[in-house]
């Protein structure tokens, strides 16, 4: 995907990123002019040395020529250093800025964007595409300019030196270059598919590395080796074909160039013999002819590069052009933090964008008072977690409205909504950093003492202390170094530290053993006081103490009331509850009951 051809004009979109560094760009161009002028003057120097030094046998001219040459080389070296430095650093600065703005944009996008687009794809834009731009802005563009200038200057100098020979060169250059350009295109295509194959090898290895325990537990190492070999062989085959083509290309290019030079020497030599041209002129002429030919050859190469850069630019611009579906309104309304109704849903219909025909919530209407504790129960897939996602405004409903503090969430700023909510999700999410970082994610300004207090309240302090480096222990990618229950307690500590007005607990204690659950439960009960809490609960113990239970099924609110009321009024609730009682009645079969519990979140 990294190499689709695009019109080079797409590169215009890069100008806003280059503009802040335009002084650097102009300085590089100035240095480029200097180096090109010097290159051009070398041909003239050659002519003087041959005609007035060698042929006139003047040692003095030869000495002078050497001194001038040394001086010119020093200037050339300085100008080359500056050109290279300015252009390459320009590429680095511009790429860094593009990376920053892509990332800044990514974190504002609506969550469903990340469901519709593979993370590997997005990552490759941020890394591969920007790296491609970096190498192209930082070198190819300067190379292209240099080649172009060299070619122009070379042609002018050719004309000044000898018009008849110039005509021959201008006719023969295309004849020599045409096969090289056509062949070069094939080599480029092969090199693209070679890169794709190498990407396949990387993807394959990446997946196996991530799933190493599954591979080894099924003892599939030999099978994976075989499969990986196939991938590597495919990449090797494409690479071999490309190298063969490339080698042939180089051979053809070298032969054609030398034949052309020989032809010119032959024609020019005859002019030198008849006295129509001096030896020095011929030497200078050959010098410029080679200069022009190299310029033309590299331009044809660079056009391919620029097309790749255009592809990368277009993909980055596409990504930057994606508008978030979820945005703060222009003029947000201030929420009223004393409103008696904290949360309300009014006739909410909602389908996930990826499943437009399936209603995750169906005409859902409910209201939750400030400081009330409410439990959501219902079978798996009922829409309980979805309700939380809508409260955080990760999605907007297709119909109906959701209000927090009696103001529609679409009329409040996202910051106002989310700053006052803490979610403990069904799957705990940890960052690959230490415990401090992970708990403090709930409140970056919290003191160490506050972090410790939150960890203690979440019953996490003891096990954290026992980690090799305590709170400074690195937890690994998504907390691989912790058990499920430990992860959950860290995430609960994070929510405690955030001290939200509205606390959303999504089966927050499901991965805990009975003993830690009891402890965390007590902590949560303290935490729930003085704030509004919605718990998606999977154990009866949690449900019994709440103010009200809402029973959801198929995205609809089926019944609500206290435990006892629901036992009377709802057949579904009674059924779900009886499964729970069975669990408590038959503790000797915990495995079986775990599964039942997982399927009926009550
Ligand atoms: N990101 C998603 N994209 C598409 N469908 C989803 C997504 N998340 C959940 N669903 C579907 O929406 C319905 C409700 O899911 P959910 O709210 O997670 O149920 P639960 O009550 O178990 O928490 C289910 O049918 C589920 O498959
Ligand atoms: Mg759920």
Alpha carbons 120 and 111: distance in angstroms, whole number: 16
351, 329 in Cβ contact below 8 A? no
Beta-bridge partner residues of 379: 600
Percent of the chain with pLDDT over 90: 40
Name the residue at shortest CA distance from atom 7 of ligand 1.
352
The bound ligand whose nearest atom lies closest to the alpha carbon of 389 is 1
CA of 509 to the centre of ligand 2 (A): 13
Among 352, 505, 572, the mutation site with the greatest number of ligand 1 atoms within 8 A of its Cβ is 352
Pocket of ligand 1 (CB under 6 A): 115, 352, 354-355, 360, 378, 380-386
Alpha carbons 345 and 556: distance in angstroms, whole number: 12
Return the half-sphere exposure (C-beta side, CA atoms, 13 A cut-off) of residue 11: 19
Name the residue at shortest CA distance from atom 1 of ligand 1.
352
Helix (H, G, I), strand (E, B) or coil at 99: helix
**Ligand 1 atom at shortest distance from the alpha carbon of 555:** 14
CATH architecture, domain defined by 429-499: 3-Layer(aba) Sandwich (3.40)
Return the half-sphere exposure (C-beta side, CA atoms, 13 A cut-off) of residue 526: 13
Residue scoring higher pLDDT (404 or 279): 404
Task: Identify the CA nearest to 146 among candidates 235, 47, 32.
Answer: 32
Alpha carbons 594 and 602: distance in angstroms, whole number: 12
Alpha carbons 479 and 483: distance in angstroms, whole number: 8
Name the residue at shortest CA distance from atom 20 of ligand 1.
381
Query: Is residue 598 pLDDT above 60, yes or no?
Result: no
Name the residue at shortest CA distance from atom 19 of ligand 1.
381
Alpha helices in 275-407 (DSSP H): 279-321, 384-391
Look over the chain and give the mean of its residue pLDDT values, rounded to a whole number: 85
Q: Where does the pLDDT of residue 591 fall: very low under 50, low under 70, confident under 90, or very high at 90 and above?
A: very low
Name the residue at shortest CA distance from atom 16 of ligand 1.
383
Percent of the chain with pLDDT over 70: 94
Beta strands in 201-279 (DSSP E): none
Strands 532-536, 502-506: parallel, antiparallel or unpaired by DSSP?
parallel
Q: Where does the pLDDT of residue 594 fall: very low under 50, low under 70, confident under 90, or very high at 90 and above?
A: very low
Say which range, 112-126, 154-168, 241-255, 579-593, has the weakest mean pLDDT: 579-593
Alpha carbons 377 and 371: distance in angstroms, whole number: 19
Name the residue at shortest CA distance from atom 12 of ligand 1.
360
Residues 6+ apart with CB under 8 A from 423: 388, 392, 495, 504, 506
Alpha carbons 5 and 306: distance in angstroms, whole number: 9
The bound ligand whose nearest atom lies closest to the alpha carbon of 386 is 1
116, 353 in Cβ contact below 8 A? yes
pLDDT tens string 501-531: 999 999 887 777 777 777 777 777 777 888 9
465, 385 in Cβ contact below 8 A? no
CA of 539 to the centre of ligand 2 (A): 14
Domain positions in the chain = 1-161+303-324, 163-276, 429-499
Alpha carbons 31 and 374: distance in angstroms, whole number: 71
Helix (H, G, I), strand (E, B) or coil at 276: coil
Among 359, 360, 552, the mutation site with the greatest number of ligand 1 atoms within 8 A of its Cβ is 360
Q: Where does the pLDDT of residue 540 fall: very low under 50, low under 70, confident under 90, or very high at 90 and above?
A: low
Q: Where does the pLDDT of residue 410 fall: very low under 50, low under 70, confident under 90, or very high at 90 and above?
A: very high
Task: Identify the CA nearest to 149 among candidates 10, 3, 30.
Answer: 30
Query: Is residue 422 pLDDT above 80, yes or no?
Result: yes
CA of 352 to the centre of ligand 1 (A): 8
CA of 548 to the centre of ligand 2 (A): 19
Write the CATH number of the domain with boundaries 1-161+303-324: 1.20.1560.10
The pLDDT of residue 2: 41
The pair of structure tokens assigned to 389 is: 């996602």
What is the average per-residue pLDDT within 324-330?
A: 92
344, 370 in Cβ contact below 8 A? no
Say which range, 180-184, 313-317, 479-483, has the weakest mean pLDDT: 180-184
**Ligand 1 atom at shortest distance from the alpha carbon of 355:** 4
Query: Is residue 143 pLDDT above 50, yes or no?
Result: yes
Query: Is residue 194 pLDDT above 80, yes or no?
Result: no
The bound ligand whose nearest atom lies closest to the alpha carbon of 599 is 1
Name the residue at shortest CA distance from atom 14 of ligand 1.
383
């Amino acid at each position: 995907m990294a190499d689709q051809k695009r019109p080079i004009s797409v590169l215009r979109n890069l100008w806003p990123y280059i503009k802040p560094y335009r002084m650097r760009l102009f300085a590089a161009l100035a240095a480029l002019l200097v180096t090109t002028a010097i290159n051009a003057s070398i041909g003239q120097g050659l002519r003087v040395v041959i005609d007035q030094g060698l042929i006139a046998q003047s040692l003095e001219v030869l000495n002078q020529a050497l001194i001038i040459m040394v001086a010119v080389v020093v200037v050339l070296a300085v100008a080359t250093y500056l050109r290279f430095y300015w252009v390459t650093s320009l590429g680095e600065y511009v790429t860094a800025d593009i990376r920053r703005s892509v990332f800044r944009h990514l974190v504002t996008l609506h969550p469903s964007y990340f469901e519709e687009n593979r993370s590997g794809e997005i990552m490759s834009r941020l890394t591969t595409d920007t790296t491609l731009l970096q190498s192209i802005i930082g070198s190819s563009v300067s190379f292209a300019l240099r080649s172009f200038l060299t070619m122009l200057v070379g042609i002018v100098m050719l004309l000044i030196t000898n018009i008849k020979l110039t005509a021959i060169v201008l006719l023969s250059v295309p004849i020599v270059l045409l096969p090289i350009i056509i062949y070069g295109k094939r080599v480029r295509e092969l090199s693209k598919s070679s890169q794709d194959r190498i990407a396949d090898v990387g993807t394959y290895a990446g997946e196996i590395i991530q799933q190493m325990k599954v591979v080894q537990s099924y003892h599939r190492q030999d099978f994976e080796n075989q499969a990986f070999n196939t991938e590597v062989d495919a990449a090797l085959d494409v690479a071999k074909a490309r190298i063969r083509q490339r080698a042939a290309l180089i051979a053809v290019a070298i032969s054609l160039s030398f034949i052309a030079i020989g032809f010119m020497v032959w024609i020019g030599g005859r002019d030198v013999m008849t006295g129509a041209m001096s030896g020095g002129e011929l030497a200078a002429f050959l010098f410029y002819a080679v200069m022009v030919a190299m310029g033309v050859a590299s331009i044809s190469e660079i056009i391919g590069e620029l097309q790749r850069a255009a592809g990368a630019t277009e993909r980055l611009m596409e990504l930057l052009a994606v508008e978030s579906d979820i945005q703060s309104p222009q003029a947000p309304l201030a929420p009223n933090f004393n409103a008696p109704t904290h949360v309300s849903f009014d006739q909410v219909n909602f389908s996930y964008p990826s499943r437009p025909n399936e209603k995750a919530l169906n005409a859902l209407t409910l209201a939750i008072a400030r400081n009330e504790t409410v439990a959501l129960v219902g079978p798996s897939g009922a829409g309980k977690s979805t309700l939380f996602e809508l409260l955080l405004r990760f999605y907007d409903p297709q119909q109906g409205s959701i209000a927090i503090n009696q103001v529609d969430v679409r009329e409040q700023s996202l910051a106002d909504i989310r700053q006052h909510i803490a979610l403990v999700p069904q799957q705990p999410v940890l960052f690959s950093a230490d415990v401090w970082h992970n708990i403090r994610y709930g409140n970056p300004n919290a003191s160490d003492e506050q972090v410790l207090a939150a960890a203690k309240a979440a019953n996490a302090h003891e096990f954290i202390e026992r980690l090799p480096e305590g709170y400074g222990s690195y937890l690994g990618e998504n907390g691989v170094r912790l058990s499920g229950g430990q992860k959950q307690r860290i995430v609960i500590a994070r929510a405690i530290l955030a001290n939200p007005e509205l606390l959303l607990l999504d089966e927050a204690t499901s991965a805990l053993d009975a003993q830690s659950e009891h402890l965390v439960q007590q902590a949560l009960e303290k935490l729930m006081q003085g704030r509004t809490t919605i718990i998606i609960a999977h154990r009866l113990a949690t449900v019994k103490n709440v103010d009200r239970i809402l029973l959801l099924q198929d995205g609809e609110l089926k019944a609500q009331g206290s435990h006892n009321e629901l036992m009377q009024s709802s057949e579904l609730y009674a059924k779900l509850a009886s499964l729970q009682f069975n669990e408590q009645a038959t503790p000797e079969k915990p495995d079986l009951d775990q599964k039942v519990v997982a399927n009926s979140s009550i």
